Structure 1
Amino acid sequence: MIVVTELAYRFVQALLQLLTHPFYYIGILFIILQYRRHIAFERKLFSTKLHSLLPETWRTVLWGWIGGLMASVLMALVGATIQAEAVILLWILSLLLIFIRVRYLCWAYAFGVIGVLQVAFKTLPGLKEMEALQWLSGPLLELSIPAMLALVAILHFVEAIYVRRQGTRLGMPLFFESKRGKIVGGYHLQGFWPMALFLIVPLEGGGGASLPWTPLLGGDLWSGGWTIIGFPVMIGFTEMTMSRLPQDKVKISSKLLMGYALVLLGFAYLAHLWPALTLLGALLSIGLHEAIILYSRWEETNRTPYYVHSSKGLRILGILPGSAAEELELHVGEVLHKVNGVPVRTKDELHQAMQLNPAFCKLEVLNLAGESKFVKRAIFSDEHHQLGILLAPDQNAPFYAEEQQNSILAYFSRKLSGLLSNRSGPGSTGTKSL
């Protein structure tokens, strides 16, 4: 009972500490900017939007709390000696790195840099003696790299779960240029979550009740007392696919992230036993993360684009939420084969077939298994975008997206960077949904 009471008391203190942490609100601001940019892309390409700013932001913040509590429980079992200085260094490095690429907001990169710097300061005495670096050398040399490596591993374990469960919902349909110069459909899968983390850490001379369990890392440090610190972290992923369904792509990404987390957790324990492995663990934090991204890109370049039209019909790239297409249970990746009994191979043929019966629509659709299914529905004049289907692009699409990652400056720019004009397409302002 004493332990429960003390846990509750220290948790409230940590909660207040978190809510006054400026980096937590910086994380939420980043989420708002991210969704605002997503919506701008959707309006430009499709003259409508698939995401809503406030609902998506609140949902993301809520899941950040759920994931943070999950990670906090796991870290309580593993053990942590994370100091406040470590959190500040990780955030500062992350915020600097996103000026290069937004995906570098992931703490795997910031931790890797910190681990390499700590080894450099330990092996090169001249660095820590430099007066200009005194502000950095002290906090840096006191950090526990194994505990930080364990933290990065557990954060990616939670991230793998989120990617599997929510990655598809966060997907944004886009037009890309394939390796053969053709405009094809694809998905940009990107999600970030500002997590609220509460860590039980050893505190020398802290007193109070003893923990009813022994954390894996830390050893005798836990005999001197403990406390709880609260601070924000960011987790997130960025993927792109032109060759797979979003749900298939996130399954692969989730498995790779889970393997990455297990490897890092293993190295955290090994580095705890043999500090000489610290540098290798820090390098693996960055190297393995980049290897996952490079593997994904390599696989995409060696697969055939999926979101293209064929002789069988028109490929569905997206479904508007709450639309007639969603009600008819149409899905991304299916093919519109016939409309009102007429085969459709181009968008012009589709519009002509729709006009045969403006008040009613009968569709023959090839599902993901290639089998025909028949759906029908009345069409009302006041319905926005009628069916609510986003089709894969043809070569007349006016814009397509760059595959290259942008820095955080693109999120603040008034100009919508990342979209290129298709010179072979018409000079229209977008591709409307049906």
Structure 2
Amino acid sequence: MDMFYDGLRAFGGLWTSPFYYLAILWVAWHARKQTAIERKLFSVKLHTWWREWGRTVLWGAIVGVGVSIVFLFIGASVTGSALLLLWIAALLLSAFRIRYLCFAYAAGVVGLLQAAIGFLDADSLPGGAAMLVREIEAVHMPSVFALVGLLHVAEAALVYATAGRLATPLFFEGKRGKPVGGYQMQGFWPVPLLLLTPMAGGATGALPWPTLFGGEASGWGAVAFPILVGFHSLALSRLPRDKARSSAFRLAGFGAAVLLCGAAVFYVPAWWTAALAALLCFGLHEWLIVWDRREESQSSPYFVHDTRGLKVLAVVPGSPAAELGIEPGYVLRRVNGQPVLDRAELHAAMRLNAAFTKLEVLDHAGESRFLQRALFANEHHQLGIVLCPDEHVLHVAEFEEGGLFSFLRSRRSSSRGAAYGPGGTPSDPSAHM
């Protein structure tokens, strides 16, 4: 019962933490930015920002409960000071690259610092430096690695479950300078954690269940702290749901590897094991990004028109196309009996019958589907279909890898004479928190 009340007090303290509100505001800003990009490129919004914001906050809370429950059986020691160090390290790193806003990198940096300062005498340092050294020395790295691993496994579950909602269709400049379609898959989830951690004068004695790290402390208390979990990737060579699922499996594998690193550091407590685990935590995460980038650069673009017809990039929710069951990746082959190979032919075919339309589309398997529907006033002029770009497109997204506060910028192309829309660079197609 004492543990229960201690947990309630810690949970109540979560709502006074500025980090949680900063995370929620960041998610809201990202959702609004997503809607603004869609309006700029397609003159319609494919997502409602406040609904997406509400879903991400809800899913983040659910994941926080799950991670907190699993952490009960680890017997880990993650103090508020250790979590604060991780947040500070992540924020400092993100000033250089946005993808560094991730506890995998922060844990790697803290682990390397702890291994390095093991050779220092804190008593010989000035007051502030000595206090910082002692705080870093006190971080229980096995518990930190376990937390990072669990968060990435949870992130994998979020990416897998919300594949469609993560994706924003965009136009990109292809390898040969021609525009291609694709999806930016990006999401952030504020995850409130309630972690049981050993502490002097804790609310209870030894834990009544077996734990990974022993859990033999004389007293236990609860620490509540928010975490921001984020994911970013590009889907240019396949459907976003397929890309999300493969990314989810890779993230889960990375999380399992970091969990094993935490166990190794606990059972082999030496400076070199902590340093090796920190390097692996940092390096494996970078390798995931390199793997993703190379995979996209070596594959052919999926969202381009071909000789069969016009390929669908996206469908406006609630539109006639959505009611007909048309999906991204489908190909418009015939409209009102006429073959369509460009936008002019599409619009001409639709004008053949202003009150009714008949479509022949090719699904993902290349099989023909015949669809028909009455048309009404004030409906989308293209049935709510967003087509892949052609050579006449005015805007494409250009991504530049920058720091946390770098914003999407526009530039002008001398060859096209067209304004380029906002974005950040395909040279960094994947980042995980």
Band the TM-score falls in, shorter-chain normalisation: over 0.9
2:307 to 308, 311, 318: 311
2:57 to 45, 61, 66: 61
Deviation per residue, 1:270-299 (Å, 9 max, x gap): 100112311111111111011011001101
Distance (whole Å) between structure 2 residues aligned to residue 353 and residue 424 of structure 1: 32
Deviation of 1:205 (Å): 3.1
Q: 3-state SS of the aligned residue for 2:164?
A: coil
1:247 to 216, 238, 241: 241
Inter-CA distance 207–232: structure 2 relative to 1 (3 Å threshold): closer
Residue pair 2:204, 2:221 contacting (<8 A) in 1 also: no
Distance (whole Å) between structure 2 residues aligned to residue 115 and residue 248 of structure 1: 35
Residue pair 1:121, 1:128 contacting (<8 A) in 2 also: no
Q: 3-state SS of the aligned residue for 1:305?
A: coil
Residue pair 1:174, 1:188 contacting (<8 A) in 2 also: yes
Q: Which moved more, 1:384-393 or 1:418-427?
A: 418-427
The letter for the 1-side match of 2:48 is S
Please show how residues 197-346 of structure 1 align to structure 2 within 5 Å.
Answer: 197-206=193-202, 208=204, 210-221=206-217, 224-276=218-270, 277-346=273-342
Deviation of 1:35 (Å): 1.2
The letter for the 1-side match of 2:147 is L
1:169 to 162, 165, 169: 165
Give the equivalent residue in structure 1 for 2:175: 179
Residue pair 1:398, 1:421 contacting (<8 A) in 2 also: no
Inter-CA distance 38–191: structure 2 relative to 1 (3 Å threshold): same
Residue pair 2:412, 2:419 contacting (<8 A) in 1 also: no
Residue pair 1:359, 1:380 contacting (<8 A) in 2 also: yes
Give the equivalent residue in structure 1 for 2:71: 75
Deviation of 1:423 (Å): 4.6
Distance (whole Å) between structure 2 residues aligned to residue 355 and residue 6 of structure 1: 73
1:397 maps onto 2:411 in alignment: no
Give the equivalent residue in structure 1 for 2:368: 372
1:38 to 28, 34, 38: 34
1:133 to 129, 135, 155: 129
Distance (whole Å) between structure 2 residues aligned to residue 91 and residue 121 of structure 1: 20
Q: 3-state SS of the aligned residue for 2:357?
A: strand
1:50 maps onto 2:46 in alignment: yes
Deviation per residue, 1:55-76 (Å, 9 max, x gap): 1111111111100001011111
Q: 3-state SS of the aligned residue for 2:73?
A: helix
Give the equivalent residue in structure 1 for 2:148: 152
Deviation of 1:95 (Å): 2.0
The letter for the 2-side match of 1:262 is A
Distance (whole Å) between structure 1 residues aligned to residue 112 and residue 245 of structure 2: 32
Deviation per residue, 1:358-395 (Å, 9 max, x gap): 11111100000001001111111122455111110011
The letter for the 2-side match of 1:133 is A
User: Any gaps of 5 or more consecutive residues in structure 2?
Assistant: 422-433
Deviation of 1:219 (Å): 4.3
Deviation per residue, 1:273-329 (Å, 9 max, x gap): 112311111111111011011001101111111110011001111111121111111
Distance (whole Å) between structure 1 residues aligned to residue 258 and residue 142 of structure 2: 10
The CA RMSD over aligned residues, in Å, is 1.9
Equivalences, count: 419
2:404 to 392, 400, 408: 408
